[in-house]
Amino acid sequence: MLFHFLFPLADRHILFNLFQYISFRAAGAMVTALLLSFFAGPPIIRRLGALNMGQVVRLDGPRTHLRKQGTPTMGGLIILVSLTVSTVLWARFDGWSVVAALSMTLGMGAIGFTDDWLKIVRHESRGLIARHKLVWQFALGLGFGMLLLVTTPDALEVTHRLVPFFKHVHLVLAPVVFPLFAALVVAGSANAVNLTDGLDGLAAGLSAIAALTFGVFAYVMGRIDTSFYLGLPYLADAGELTVFCVAVSGAAIGFLWFNAPPATVFMGDTGSLALGAAIGTVAVLLKSELLLLIVGGIFVAEALSVMIQTGGFKFTRWRTGTGRRVFRMAPLHHHFEQLGWPETRVVIRFYIVAIIFALAALATMKVR
- Is residue 140 assigned to a domain? yes
The answer to whether residues 108 and 268 touch, using CB atoms and an 8 Å cutoff, is no
- Is residue 348 assigned to a domain? no
List residues bridging with 72 in a β-sheet. Answer: 54
Q: What is the number of domains present in the chain? A: 1
The answer to whether residues 338 and 346 touch, using CB atoms and an 8 Å cutoff, is no
- Is residue 65 assigned to a domain? yes
Classified as helix, coil or strand, 108 is helix
pLDDT of residue 65: 58
The answer to whether residues 69 and 54 touch, using CB atoms and an 8 Å cutoff, is yes
- Is residue 343 assigned to a domain? no
CA angle (179, 180, 184) in 5-degree steps: 115
Range of the domain at 137: 26-297
**Dist CA 299 CA 195 (whole Å):** 8
- Is residue 279 assigned to a domain? yes
- Is residue 307 assigned to a domain? no
- Is residue 216 assigned to a domain? yes
Separation in Å, CA 307 to CA 300, 310, 350: 11, 5, 20
Q: What is the pLDDT of residues 182-204, one digit of tens each?
A: 999 999 999 999 999 989 999 99
- Is residue 314 assigned to a domain? no
For every one of its 368 residues, what pLDDT tens digit does the chain have, with 9 covering 90 and above? 776 676 666 667 777 778 788 999 999 999 999 999 999 999 999 998 888 776 666 555 565 555 666 688 899 999 999 999 999 999 998 888 999 999 999 999 999 999 998 888 776 666 788 888 999 999 999 999 999 988 876 666 788 899 998 888 889 998 899 999 999 999 999 999 999 998 999 999 999 999 999 999 999 999 999 998 888 989 988 999 999 999 999 999 999 999 998 899 999 999 999 999 999 999 999 999 999 999 999 999 999 999 999 999 888 888 888 888 889 998 999 999 999 999 999 999 999 999 999 999 999 988 87
